[in-house]
Structure 1
């Protein structure tokens, strides 16, 4: 009897719950339909946007063409912004400034033809040339090959220029570490074990770039080995030696400057040997230099794309990666395999693109080596050409730091006004007494403009940076 009462009670409970739930659902639907609560249902008409044809990625040239261009620059307003900049602390007399409208017409030119030390704005010249010469969707592979001779197995580790290898597993979410030596070791060990091999000799081939590997004189601005390391076939984490400095949580944050190794290939080989051992492969002795054998790779890891490496170089103002891009251009174009060859190859690409090069002296491809000079006219024309060259230079245009958001323009030390954040895209330059910036600005009134500014012999560099950022901010308001 009790069992029947319990069953009846459960039946009533379930029935009531169903009725209540249905009522609540119905009420929610009605409330949603009349927009009394948030939801997807509505009784009001909805404008449905339709598209005639699907669209793919838009190259910079297409973006520029779509921007409003019927808002002319006010010459008086441009002059006022320039006058305020010139009168700012830290600027002094040794400055050059040029501003051009969306169509490339120069609206203001102050000392535009005077060659000055550009610092890291030189990287825009190299990146532009690299974007024209290289397949920016390609990668730099790091590989292993196996040969056996008389029962002795030798694995050769070969690098193709990836100096941002990770020491562990490949990291798909970052540029630095996209290809991991741990992943390469695991795949190599699997290939070895499939052939019954558990003991190997380890060789490494770091001969890709030959010698010399550094621009002559770069040590004058790199005496403590914190701002550049030789361009080599491979390196882990850009060659950084983490000691007292805290390693950033973001591997792609290159704004901390520990000492850099000058034996990056050997370092990478040692890390790889350690990873092989962790996979159960015994490595005889220490890794030794050797030529890549004529054999198919047994394992490969791929870097981030060259376009992503370019973005990394521009946003972090990474001198080594900029020099690497120049060296890759030299290899691609058949120039001399040297720092001088890289400079020659970059200059040849500029000439082919019609970029004016009067006053351009490239002591290197990064702007770190003393002796480089450039005019703001050259820097300006690189910016204009990059935005007009379509898909070829998309990686360059997308890689520029953005004010208040990314890279060197996103640092807290920059002085952009609040309403200019996100509107300025450009490459910074900073050396002793030198501050510079070259890029483009989205105008709040419509369209874009291009600009380049170099300050030399500044007695107050921090104030010069503020003046440059305030100038860029003022340009966004034109």
Structure 2
């Protein structure tokens, strides 16, 4: 029998603060916080590839399990062989179902395929129109840390606004400048900051911040809390201008001024985010809505489309088409907060299989970022009645009102690596029952 084991890279340590303070995917889900975890990036490793499970037996078991009343009347599922891409099980697998946060898998695959795993998001300061003016230019990095970061090690390492202020001041003083006027440029992103498909409570409840190209601490009032600021760009500007004097450069002028940096303006200083592969791991492990929206917009920019909700959705579809996934994915945001999103289980499982395939090492972070059953992220508190598969199921969860989804990878009893997607979007009331039903489906695949 094939043996599986978890490899935990020391560089991937993640503080429990980030996870225990992570908001539920939807306030209406009333989901308890995930338990503290040890790592964001362990990798499920297989030592070989066993025989395929018996289709008839698995089909019968999964068909019966999909009929669990806890999942409601709109349910679909798919199981694919990672090695060949062949279908092992399909139950209403081509029906578009509301994916909730499993949308982040789609966004992450597109980001890695389009941007590449080593790309970074840069926040810069450039020369303004006069010698004593500068412009703070947002590059779309929502993980940019402010002056009060969370205590302890955080994965991935974040770019820092205080570091940017210090580097800026050092460069200015070297040029003999000790007083400047400051404007900010967040024009990299276009269109509405909040899409019409989002529910009105999302921003007030702290599910996400208004999406802008310049923000600090993901637009939170303070790190680790749910509450978001009304204008992330203006807030980041104000933080920056309070930091400069601490490093010896005074700031002239009154309130925040929004503008645009001149084309080809000289760069004074910059800080870079963690590479995209690490941002993808964070987005999936923490189900980070702000980061997922930023990644979708970065895909739009790379694909030559407007960095908006519509542009991001169109760019994601464009990239998926290059990967051979031309149907079954209709998204309106990058995070899955939109209840209008529809993804077919077969398409979602296929994307997971592509990411897990040895032929696509550049997509591997989609797998390494998925929570691990019983250990990390939004699966840290799950599978309590299926502990035999702790560490053997790696999957992304999705939760909205009436929606529960689960997609990921596992190995069968004989060691075959498979991808799965189980989705339900007409879930009756009763917290936790649908999640437990989905966990049983994944555990059944692992036991096949």
**Matching residue of 1:270:** 238
Contact 2:209 2:228 in 1 (8 A): yes
Matched, 1:160 2:125: no
TM-score for the superposition, normalised by structure 2: 0.82
Distance 1:229 1:165, change over 3 A: same
SS at match of 1:219: coil
**Matching residue of 2:406:** 437
Matched, 1:187 2:186: no
Matched, 1:128 2:96: no
Contact 2:63 2:91 in 1 (8 A): no
Distance 1:148 1:440, change over 3 A: closer
Q: Deviations over 1:83-127 (max 9, x none)?
A: 552354512332111222343322222111222211111121121
Contact 1:125 1:382 in 2 (8 A): yes
Report the Cα distance in structure 1 between the residues aligned to 2:446 and 2:237, rounded to whole angstroms: 49
Contact 2:299 2:316 in 1 (8 A): yes
Report the Cα distance in structure 2 between the residues aligned to 1:467 and 1:415, rounded to whole angstroms: 12
Contact 1:423 1:443 in 2 (8 A): no
Report the Cα distance in structure 2 between the residues aligned to 1:213 and 1:348, rounded to whole angstroms: 22
Contact 2:190 2:306 in 1 (8 A): no
TM-score for the superposition, normalised by structure 1: 0.77
Distance 1:115 1:461, change over 3 A: farther
Deviates more, 1:460-469 or 1:286-295: 286-295
**Matching residue of 1:283:** 251
Q: Deviations over 1:144-175 (max 9, x none)?
A: 123473xx611211111111111139999535
Report the Cα distance in structure 1 between the residues aligned to 2:278 and 2:229, rounded to whole angstroms: 23
Q: Deviations over 1:162-204 (max 9, x none)?
A: 1111113999953566111111111111112222322211111
Matched, 1:94 2:74: yes
Report the Cα distance in structure 2 between the residues aligned to 1:101 and 1:125, rounded to whole angstroms: 19
Contact 1:221 1:369 in 2 (8 A): no
SS at match of 2:255: strand
**Matching residue of 2:198:** 218
Contact 2:99 2:403 in 1 (8 A): yes
**Matching residue of 1:332:** 302
**Which structure's residues are more often helix, by fraction?**
1
**Matching residue of 1:140:** 121
Gaps of 5+ in 2: 1-43
SS at match of 2:215: strand
Report the Cα distance in structure 2 between the residues aligned to 1:83 and 1:110, rounded to whole angstroms: 7
**Matching residue of 1:468:** 438
Q: How many residues align?
A: 400
Gaps of 5+ in 1: 1-62, 249-256
Instruction: Give the alignment partner of residue 281 of structure 2, picking from 308, 311, 314.
Output: 311
Q: Deviations over 1:315-355 (max 9, x none)?
A: 12122221211111111111233211111111111112111
Residues 106-125 of structure 1: pairs in structure 2 closer than 5 A: 106-125=87-106
Instruction: Give the alignment partner of residue 355 of structure 1, picking from 314, 325, 328.
Output: 325
Report the Cα distance in structure 2 between the residues aligned to 1:184 and 1:416, rounded to whole angstroms: 48
Matched, 1:241 2:221: yes
Q: Deviations over 1:416-457 (max 9, x none)?
A: 622211111121110101100111112343121111111121
Distance 1:210 1:125, change over 3 A: same
Contact 1:89 1:467 in 2 (8 A): no
SS at match of 1:156: strand
Residue 237 of structure 1 and its aligned partner are, at CA, apart by 1.1
Q: Deviations over 1:392-415 (max 9, x none)?
A: 2122222222212222122x2554
SS at match of 1:287: coil
Higher relative contact order (CA 8 A, sep 6+): 2
Instruction: Give the alignment partner of residue 386 of structure 1, picking from 352, 355, 369.
Output: 355
Residues 46-57 of structure 1: pairs in structure 2 closer than 5 A: none
Distance 1:273 1:336, change over 3 A: closer
Distance 1:379 1:147, change over 3 A: closer
The root-mean-square deviation of aligned C-alpha atoms, in Å, is 2.5
Report the Cα distance in structure 1 between the residues aligned to 2:127 and 2:148, rounded to whole angstroms: 21
Contact 1:85 1:91 in 2 (8 A): no
Distance 1:434 1:169, change over 3 A: closer
Report the Cα distance in structure 2 between the residues aligned to 1:286 and 1:188, rounded to whole angstroms: 20
